[in-house]
Amino acid sequence: MGVLDALGHALGVAGTMTWEITWSLILGFTLSAIVQALVRRQTVTRLLGDDKPRTLALATGLGAASSSCSYAAVALARSLFRKGASFTAAMVFEIASTNLVIELGIILALLIAWQFTLAEFIGGPIMITAVAVAFRLFVRQRLIDAARQQADKGLAGSMEGHAAMDMSIRSAGGFRRRLASRDGYTAVSHIFVMEWASVLRDIAGGLLIAGAVGAWVPDSFWRHLFLTSHPLAARLWGPLIGPVISMLSFVCSIGNVPLAGVLWNGGISFGGVVAFLFADLIIIPILIIYRKYYGTKMMLVILGIFYAAMVIAGYIIEFLFSAAGLVPAERTARVAEQGIQWNYTTVLNIIFLLLAAALLVRFFRSGGGPMLKTMNGSPDPHEHAHPGTWTGLKRDAWRSPGGFGG
């Protein structure tokens, strides 16, 4: 009976967190889908051909607009690199597309505190700057050339098919006209559903892990791990241990926010939470993918540079926000079991679930169903040569009544 009670408690915590963030996820993915529907992939590749500051700033903005799960972001970064983008710009795009997105900021504010949202959007550019400087100083051209040769082998990682899809609006006209068109509604619905499908595993895993950790791991364990009895040591230790916990949790993208709330309640430093959140791109499964994509040497370089940049960003955020008095005084992340109540969250969930249902219906009515089968398909879209794969599906559906543009 004790085991069943413990499982029930963990599921209750996970369920409560799920209910708290549902509307914000739908809102974030809808806004992201609108932006991605208006920005075409070939435009992104064309703008990222070097590692100049202006190019990296564009990579940051375009990455933030191209919200993706960590696996899809990593696959898309390789795709951009193979098509001519500079390696540094591709890495910057990858970081921004998982750590500087709207839905992440909203969920941080809802589950933990608005200060973490601000820290994420200030710390992200700091990390990106550190990564860009490190690549310029320490990565030689021969290593990048070797990484390009490895990338051109096209070895599969994860979410390859999803990364190869360009579902932007094909009709002519200005942004407003394109978005208001029938094709615009269809494109938004396709991107919305495919983005949900790509991150659902991470979100569900993150909520379940956070629920289990929040329910089963005693606070005393976290207090000892995070050195909470030594304030200065805790502030120095947090950004170092945060990414390590993230690497070992195997949870990435938005799915690590609930666990970040558990760690914050447990006593990790403010900067430690920020560094933990940034580490979604160096979890062990993704390191294995880097090795396939770019070779062992470049994988180790990415790990070292990303980890150092996360720690640096965590330290800067820790001491900057402490000096400004912006570190929350209370550790009250919403990871406790409260149950579903009739309040503004319930009202917003109902409204946005109806919106999600409308987009889901449009997705399937416009022929999007077969796209779900191609999410882990070939990294090269030209290899899809038959209906039901992405290239053939897109070509045929846009031309047929009831297809993508129907």
Place of tokens 């050339």: 145
What is the DSSP code string of 28-48?
A: HHHHHHHHHHHS-HHHHHHH-
> What distance in Å separates the CA atoms of residue 24 and residue 276, rounded to the nearest whole number?
21
pLDDT tens-digit series, residues 99-128: 998 888 888 988 899 999 999 999 999 999
Higher pLDDT, 237 or 204: 237
Higher pLDDT, 166 or 381: 166
Answer whether residue 279 is part of any domain: yes
pLDDT at position 255: 72
pLDDT at position 113: 93
As for how many domains the chain has, the answer is 1
> What distance in Å separates the CA atoms of residue 406 and residue 400, rounded to the nearest whole number?
7
> What distance in Å separates the CA atoms of residue 250 and residue 135, rounded to the nearest whole number?
26
Place of tokens 């800067």: 316
Answer whether residue 404 is part of any domain: no
For residue 381, which of 397, 392, 367 has the smallest C-alpha distance? Answer: 392
Place of tokens 């599969």: 156
- Which amino acid is located at 400 in the chain? S
Higher pLDDT, 66 or 112: 112
Higher pLDDT, 393 or 333: 333
pLDDT at position 333: 82
Answer whether residue 278 is part of any domain: yes
Is residue 264's pLDDT more than 80? yes
Is residue 277's pLDDT more than 90? yes
Please compute the mean of the pLDDT values over residues 346-362 and round it to a whole number.
91
pLDDT at position 13: 65
Answer whether residue 359 is part of any domain: yes
Report H helices in 253-343.
Answer: 256-266, 270-278, 284-294, 296-324
pLDDT tens-digit series, residues 2-20: 666 667 766 776 677 677 7
> What distance in Å separates the CA atoms of residue 30 and residue 25, rounded to the nearest whole number?
8
Answer whether residue 47 is part of any domain: yes
Is residue 336's pLDDT more than 60? no
Torsion, CA 81, CA 205, CA 192, CA 282, rounded to 10: -20
By CB atoms closer than 10 A (0-12, 13-18, 19+), residue 401 is exposed
pLDDT at position 403: 37
Is residue 289's pLDDT more than 70? yes
Mean pLDDT of the chain: 81
What is the value of pTM for the model shown?
Answer: 0.76
Higher pLDDT, 308 or 48: 308
pLDDT at position 88: 96
Neighbouring-strand partners of residue 114: none
Domain of 350, in residue numbers? 2-399
> What distance in Å separates the CA atoms of residue 258 and residue 224, rounded to the nearest whole number?
21
pLDDT at position 159: 54
Three-state secondary-structure class, residue 165: coil
Are 63 and 97 in contact by the 8 Å Cβ rule? The answer is yes
Answer whether residue 332 is part of any domain: yes
CA 7 to chain centre: 28
pLDDT band at 389 (very low <50, low <70, confident <90, very high): very low
Answer whether residue 217 is part of any domain: yes
Answer whether residue 406 is part of any domain: no
- Which amino acid is located at 361 in the chain? V
pLDDT band at 309 (very low <50, low <70, confident <90, very high): very high
> What distance in Å separates the CA atoms of residue 225 and residue 248, rounded to the nearest whole number?
15
